[in-house]
A and B are shown apart, each in its own frame.
Chain A
């Protein structure tokens, strides 16, 4: 190979290299030019979004429930801050805003919106002025007006309104949501988010490589979101929330009254009275001294004399928690002097903490040891000893929250303490919700600035953010008896006539001979004694006891059975359905009751315009078989679905679950002649200029064919529950109703949650229910109340509903003091 050839080779190498470059240039500059052009354009422009004011929320009378105000925010444009200046800026901002420099720096790192970082919201004018006057110390800092959500009525209506927050993964799936946006997280804030949000403004700047703004390229102003008008009446809502709160406190006080006998020689009320008397005496002594002091001074300060003299009239209060704390050190008693259902307790190693409960238990932290990198505590409760790590649950009601070498933080559940009250008021004529709440509630404003850990601990453990009117599912208990009641009238189907006075059934379960004939009319009497015996398929005899056992109700017809809430009547009705399930009628009697229930909306979501609604459960034969097959443990492990299950369903127990709204909606349909509404809380949406852009008319989900007389009879009996002085289960609760009591009706219910072991004195924790209807002549309102673990419906729930009905019938001044009603189912 001579020199020329070798040079030629080099030439070829050069040529190929140049060809390669040319090819690549062709691809970039000709084939893919558009992609690069777009990138070059994006390079030059910087887009800043200006948030749109969120639409307002009003109640049905135009009272503002949620609004937006403009606040000044500190926004740092990181593009204008050199990295060397960042530390200094962080220090200046932290000194000025009184926040840790580390958290300011952390915000710098987060840099989410094209270099714009919001460091502080809601400055005072003085703060804003200071920053603007000292710009050189705050490079890149701008003061920008930003909308802030306000909730003028605080907790009132919070479960319906919901709250807003940063979008999560799921929210970000929506096309109109960016990571920096604020979206509705619950309530109408969530379900009507798209209408409330409005369109954000877009400002486009031309920038250079250092992202310095050169000029304004385009600007589009934000447009405010639409405003909602709710069906909620905020004054009624306030009354409902007040009653729910007072009712829960009352339920807890009743619980404490039961406890105090066991643990104190002197009643809590007596102790409180003593403390109050002592405080008053002390106050009088102080005031006397103060008056004599001030008399000396008044010579120099003329004109203040009258004020000083007026002082002694001020009321004297004592903090029950303080007075009672010495009684049960460590026992959580809140400022109302009542139990708290969830307790956080911090116990140092080697010491003892008192767990709340019917009988206080001592928890002793024996030691904390390191078990292979994880801390493990040894804790004794009574004679039992547990070795547990973080998050472990033990002894049924206790969970370890945190562990350190020296202390253990425990979370303890007092299962007997009433935990929550829930209420909803609906209009049976159009399905609109007039008020809806659960207590504990929350102020949606806590989410605007983000929750503090304390707030989260307090509100989160009580599940205060959930709307239990649609998210809570409970056994409806005796309130559900209205469904078999309607079935009986519609189908003309009554229990077997078991010969007054003899409730023991000796015949076979499957309709063997010498089965007695059924009752023929709703007015035929049936003996409601205290207990009910029926044979199981294996020949043994099962006993079911009425809530009034060992007493009974005496002979009652269908109407009396509903008024007195006689369990036996409805059990026997269910048993007849069961026994005749394979007769020749062709009717599926095994599922007939459930079909009735479903037709009134049980077991399915109502479709209300609020998020996270639960469906409840209306168990039928198929469901039982399915659960059996899947071995979920929700039904008895041995044997198939039995008559006892259907009997439980007839009185709203067993696996039956409803939401308070579902129950309200079902009652509405039963009393209005069969119209099942789709409930709603929003009636109208207006745009930013006040023009109506959407109206939500009442929606009929479906209509149940039923005789008008059935609704009429039901109303009469509901009226008797409240008004019948002999057997009405709510008669005591409504005794002091005032004007219009005869126009009020309802049904109580008491749902078993925990049944104490037999060895214990007969005692159980129950959900207290009441569903009220008024006016009976032309129902306008359905008032549904449940107190979780509150006790009996007649005693705990009916008085709460009574206050609401007083408000509705006689106005705010008609509402009388809360007092426990009759302890009746």
Chain B
């Protein structure tokens, strides 16, 4: 069927199209993003103002990424996942290439980790792309496999996750590695892996972790972050400082919060990297328990919708892709929020759609777009 350019308009904007958008998913996406922008502004404005800089600077930067992210979400939503399936190989290859690029002199370091690629105009985090690439690659492998899964398929899945994981480990980025692991387990589980296979995977990952420690391949600061989480007093000001301040911010928010722009922890910059990794503290302090639960609720609804979409997906590939995306988003939310309230160690995973940062927002929007695309075309009966 030949296509004209007009076919490419986002389907949900086309009133005549039979392909209706998932309003609940889109609305929660918009709501979380809007709250995120507000929080980024409240967390950055006092600091910028104090330095005599335009207090809306960070907000404006983030808003540009949000616009780009919306466009990407719209475009990806209108894609037919069947078309994507053929591109999985190249996407995976490109993301591996980008990950390799990080380790070259082109890679840019921030703190103790090297996670960025400097492309002149924009800096860019290839690991975010790799998350989507891994989901798609696993979906493609597992969609082609027969149920019950053979050990061979499991091995292949591990291999395809393992390659980018090793590259990311070299950066190093423990958080993203954990995302890969969780996505792998969830996708193997929903695609019908046996309990024995999952058990093997669990044992293997334990062996791997112990091995990494034994070979001193894990850096001291990563160990400290993990132990700092368990025993905050031992690392008073230095290591668990972020987490301590983050806890104070959220805890002191109380039931209803201190009110927008009224948070002392936020206004006086007590929480480091608040606008990115610790954006949830701005919610907790300013809007309290009620606000926090509303934000968690929005994510809950979003995840619920994703699981619903997965259930009604028209193909096994779509089903697996959406499951993988749900796993990825869910893991981010749980680990990120958990980190701010000392339920999880500090791993540097952002809160989707809320943390400031361009690559993250655009990549997460693209991922959500993929799931949305699966919803829009759920009724088209095209054989895989």
Contacts and interface: CB of A to CB of B under 8 A. Distances in A.
B325 to A, nearest CB: 12
Nearest to B341: A24
A3 interface: yes
B107 interface: no
Contacts of A28: 247, 250-251, 341
Interface string A1-17: 10110110111001101
Contacts of B270: 43, 208-209
B249 interface: yes
A25 B299 contact: no
A30 B253 CA distance: 9
Contacts of B288: 29
A4 B303 CA distance: 15
Which range contains the number of A residues in contact with the other chain? Answer: 35 or more
A36 B186 contact: no
A40 to B, nearest CB: 4
Interface string B180-203: 000000100110100000000000
Interface in B213-259: 245, 247-255
Contact of B251 (A10, A33, A44): A33
Interface string B272-308: 1000000000001000110011001001100110010
A40 B289 contact: no
Nearest to B320: A3
Nearest to A42: B248
Contacts, number: 121
B284 A21 contact: no
Given A43-B270, A44-B268, A26 B289 contact: yes
Contacts of B330: 14, 17
Interface string B304-333: 100100110000000100010011001000
B289 A6 contact: no
A824 to B, nearest CB: 71
Dominant secondary structure of chain A at its interface with chain B: helix
A207 B327 CA distance: 42
Nearest to A17: B334
Interface in B162-184: none
A32 interface: yes
A739 interface: no
Interface-centre pick from A9, A30, A36 (highest chain B CB count, 10 A): A36
B189 A6 contact: yes
B189 A20 contact: no
B252 A33 contact: yes
Contact of A29 (B253, B265, B269, B326): B253
A40 B293 contact: no
Given A7-B307, A43-B265, A208-B268, A25 B300 contact: no
A25 B284 contact: yes
A541 interface: no
Contacts of B269: 208-210
A704 interface: no
Which range contains the number of B residues in contact with the other chain? Answer: 35 or more
A7 B252 contact: no
Contacts of B326: 10, 14
Interface string B134-152: 0000000000000000000
Interface in A666-688: none
A20 B288 CA distance: 17
B284 A29 contact: yes
A761 B311 CA distance: 116
Nearest to A11: B307
A26 B293 CA distance: 9
Contacts of A7: 190, 307, 310-311, 323
Given A25-B289, A28-B250, A29-B255, A10 B323 contact: yes
B252 A40 contact: yes
A208 B327 CA distance: 39
A763 interface: no
Nearest to A8: B307
A10 B190 contact: yes
Nearest to A28: B251
Nearest to B344: A21
Given A7-B323, A14-B303, A25-B293, A20 B343 contact: yes
Contact of A4 (B250, B253, B311, B337): B311
17 contacts: A3-B190, A7-B310, A10-B189, A10-B326, A11-B307, A17-B334, A21-B296, A21-B338, A24-B338, A25-B296, A29-B284, A33-B255, A36-B247, A40-B251, A43-B265, A44-B264, A207-B268
Given A10-B189, A28-B341, 5 more contacts: A14-B334, A29-B251, A37-B254, A39-B248, A207-B268
Interface of B: 50, 186, 189-190, 192, 245, 247-255, 264-265, 268-272, 284, 288-289, 292-293, 296, 299-300, 303-304, 307, 310-311, 319, 323, 326-327, 330, 334, 337-338, 341, 343
Give me the 7 closest cross-chain CB pairs, A-B, nearest first: A36-B251, A40-B252, A29-B289, A28-B251, A36-B252, A208-B268, A209-B270
